[in-house]
Amino acid sequence: MQPEKSCNMQTELRLVHFNDVYHIPSERLFSRFCTLIDNFRKESNSLTVFGGDVFSPSLEASVLKGEQMLPILNYLRIDVGCYGNHDFDFGNQRLVDLSNQLQFPSVLSNAFHSADGGHGSQSLLGAAREYVTHTIGGLRLGFFGLAGTDWPSNCENLPPSRIVDPVSVAKKLARFLRREENCDVVIAITHMRLPEDMEVANATASGEERVDLILGGHDHEVVRRFAGDTSTKAGVVQQGYANSEIIRNGVVSDAEGSIRVVKSGTDWKGLSLLRLIVHNNEDGKVRISTIKLKQYEDLDMMESPESALPPQEIVDMLASIHKRVGDLVQKPLLHTAVPLEGRNSLVRSQETNLGNLLADAVRAFYDTDMAFFNSGAMRCDRVLSRTVSGGAPLLVRDMINICPFENPMLVKRLSGAIIHHALENSISDKHTDGRFLQVSGLRVIASWEKEEGNRILEVFPSRPGAQPERIDPCKTYTVAMSAFIASGFDGYTWFPEQETVIDIESAISDTSLMLMAFGYTNEMDSKPDANHGLGIARARKAVIAEMNAADGFPVVQPSVDGRIHFL
């Protein structure tokens, strides 16, 4: 039975929220992150909430399969989390094993196992709970988790499952938590795209089905939306303001009011600190009168007077993780004569020299007519600096950071019409989720100004020495691509039905291909076929410009050559 609450009393609840952290942070960044949340949590009535995506993808994940993040998560004293789609990258059972070593529960309330495609299972994925409750400051808080409906299309290792409509689950659980668990405040922890977060927020704004706050992830952006807002663009921090107006040195201007949705960036750089001001009204009902919000968009850029070294316990913890990865990934691999563009915002929306390098290597390896390299498989999210002349070469770890998934690369036979459909999907409104294709063996002319589905204006297969001719809708072409999109993920639903020329049993992974093309011979997990030697030789010829005279390592010099041109 819930204790009786005094009328006309005000309580402040403090919530720390962060989401989508993939890499082992630097000592400086993690120390700054911990200092901010520890100072904020010194006051009583605080909880720490994590929004999902932590075990993969990253360099360390490719070696330790998620285990690298356990000590960091447990160090942070998290109270409740939600799974993200990438937490399933190593399969459901691996996630269960990892979850059992965490010191906090994870919620995921609308994602169920569906063995053999059935629809009756009520077994939640991973080790998820349907909901979790906490009592602080004399108030009872209820948390539940929501997966985005896009998960089955972009999560290759998700077990057979069904994602139930987030709105209906949110309404049902909010009502249940208030009626049966006597919760005063109901919070949804989500791993969905902003349009679905907004849909839930608008559908649960009042009554017993009210969700008081949505703490979201998945978009990798710092976001806040107030009651009545309509913007579903995750790149916009606050509706009505340009980001440059409200972000200074990585810190977002403070906000206060009827905040409904909060997202907290990515990779230890983003963070949200919320103060919920809760009133017990004369009618006995509990209401959040306002939310005060402090957000950080990039802690690396934040001006800080702190000059002290990170605590030794942080130094030791991070050092032990890096030691486990060992010398495997520290070996020098290659040089680059130009900066390599790997930022997510660009590789998922336009041609880049790094995308061309990867697509050219895959096409050359299989000697296909074309190659598609889905940008979601490129994960370094930074520009790799030029190393020629005099710079230290890029390491094995740099290449694994670019291609951490070990995606098998298959070959399909596609008609010109199917290729055209694929390119339309590549530049659809959902292109930023990773379906944008970096290409080789063709030239594309398109326009973002056209209506979705009609943005591809011209497609020309490119053959050395041949005159350009428009693609023939009826002719077939061999196309190398990842098993991920070949299986129909990221909206490429027609690919599974097309003829497979080289299947997964004979495939090489993108990670192994790139490592071997640059001369790395110590295989990791995957074991490419011994007959791949000719393909490796072709890939090397396609992407290596020369050998560095000083140390003998290969040098690349990829360019943007106009193969994807937007009018």
For residue range 108-119, list pLDDT tens digits in order: 999 999 864 444
Reported as a single tens digit per residue, the pLDDT across 120-132 is 558 999 999 999 9
- For CATH 3.60.21.10, list the domain ranges present in the chain: 10-112+123-205+214-322
The predicted-structure confidence for 254-292, as pLDDT tens digits, reads as follows: 999 999 999 999 999 999 999 999 998 777 788 999 999
Mean pLDDT of all residues in 204-222: 96
pLDDT at 454: 97
- How many angstroms separate the CA atoms of 204 and 239, rounded? 20
pLDDT over 80 (residue 505): no
Q: How confident is the model at residue 331 (pLDDT cuts 50, 70, 90)?
A: confident
Angle between helical axes of 166-179 and 194-203 (0-180°, round to 10): 40
β partners of residue 443: 460
pLDDT at 218 over 70: yes
| Residue 12 CB coordination number (10 Å) | 14
Q: Which percentage of the chain shows pLDDT scores above 70?
A: 94
The whole-number pLDDT of residue 50 equals 98
Average per-residue pLDDT in the chain?
91
pLDDT digits (tens, 9 = 90+) for 157-168: 889 999 999 999
What is the CATH topology of the domain spanning 10-112+123-205+214-322? Purple Acid Phosphatase; chain A, domain 2 (3.60.21)
Length of the chain: 567
Residue 153 pLDDT exceeds 80: no
Cis peptide before 57 (omega within 30 of 0): yes
Q: By CB neighbour count within 10 A (0-12 exposed, 13-18 middle, 19+ buried), where does 64 fall?
A: middle
Q: How far apart are CA 179 and CA 172, in angstroms?
A: 11
Per-residue pLDDT, 248: 96
In this structure, what token pair is assigned to residue 220?
């990798």
**Confidence band of 305 (pLDDT split at 50, 70, 90):** low
Give me 43's structure tokens.
Answer: 């006051």
Query: What architecture is domain 332-566?
Result: Alpha-Beta Complex (3.90)
pLDDT, tens only, 509-534: 899 899 989 998 644 344 444 557 89
Mean pLDDT for 25-54 is 94
pLDDT in tens, 230-261: 999 998 999 999 999 999 999 999 999 999 99
pLDDT for the residue 522:
47
- For residue 395, name the pLDDT band (cuts at 50, 70, 90): very high
What per-residue confidence (pLDDT) applies to 523? 40
3-state secondary structure of 246: helix
For residue 425, pLDDT over 90 is answered with yes
Choice among 59-73, 225-239, 538-552 with the minimum mean pLDDT: 59-73
Report the Cα 158 to chain-centroid distance in Å.
15
Mean pLDDT calculated for residue range 541-566: 96
Mean pLDDT lowest among 78-87, 109-118, 202-211, 403-412:
109-118
| DSSP string across 343-377 | -HHHHTTS--HHHHHHHHHHHHHHT-SEEEEEGGG
Note if the pTM is more than 0.75.
no
* 334-349 pLDDT tens trace: 999 999 999 999 999 9
Q: Tell me what pLDDT residue 119 has.
A: 46
What is the rounded CA–CA span in Å between residue 286 and residue 359? 57
pLDDT at 184: 96
Q: Check residue 306 and give its pLDDT.
A: 55
Give the percent of the chain with pLDDT over 90: 77
Reported in sequence order, the residue ranges of 337-454 that DSSP labels E, i.e. its strands, are 340-341, 370-374, 383-384, 394-395, 408-415, 437-440, 442-446
For position 308, what pLDDT does the model report? Answer: 57
pLDDT score of 145: 98
Q: Which segments of the chain belong to CATH 3.90.780.10? A: 332-566
